[in-house]
A = this chain, B = another copy of it.
Amino acid sequence: MRTFILYARKAVTSPDFNIEDLPSSGGRMDLIARCISSALFLSFAMRRDSRIFVVLNGPPNPPVTVCFDGSITNVSPDEQSIALWIKKALEKIENFKGKDWISLKNNIKVSRKSFQDIIKESQGSFYILYEKGEPIEKVKIAENPIIILGDHLGLPSKEEKFALRYGKKISLGKTSYLASQCIAIVNWMFDEA
């Protein structure tokens, strides 16, 4: 199993965002949708052995975590399709207080778990994507890799410190890529390894 954990600082936690304005009203929900697409979609196929947790930390009720994996159905790789499903997940959890996972009919899951909850509950080898980490080409990637990354604002230092208790920093080089590009590159590296 290949896992991505995306920490999204500003992504809204209410379903009221405007599907026609994902960057502003969604708190960069466009970026999140592209990351989910990069993590799971191939040409006419899905990555069955992969999943991505996106931890939404924006207003009004953070955190909310959505989980998309290779078993999801009726989702297309375009931003609007994915964002519509996040909207449905946020509607589903709106009046729900506990931290359990709730499943949508198409296998998307949503919960009130935090970034730290997700890390604590995940089994595998953790890698935190960071420009100043060890070059990914030199790292021997273990089985069941869990790749942690931030959105355009990066991980808050408190969360970064927490993640570093579980794993180490790896780097794609000096260039700062979009989060979705990082995921595409990492997936390719792991496919080729």
Contact = CB atoms under 8 A, between A and B. Distances in A.
B177 A43 contact: yes
Contacts of A74: none
Identical chains in the assembly: 2
Interface string A171-193: 01101111011001101100110
With most chain B CB atoms within 10 A of its CB, the pick from A19, A42, A184 is A184
Contact of A78 (B22, B41, B188): B22
Contact of A177 (B80, B175, B176, B188): B188
A193 B180 CA distance: 21
Contacts of A175: 42, 188, 191
Given A79-B80, A180-B184, A185-B185, 20 more contacts: A20-B80, A22-B78, A22-B80, A23-B78, A30-B76, A30-B77, A30-B80, A34-B34, A38-B181, A38-B184, A41-B178, A42-B175, A42-B178, A78-B79, A137-B192, A173-B188, A173-B191, A175-B188, A181-B184, A181-B187
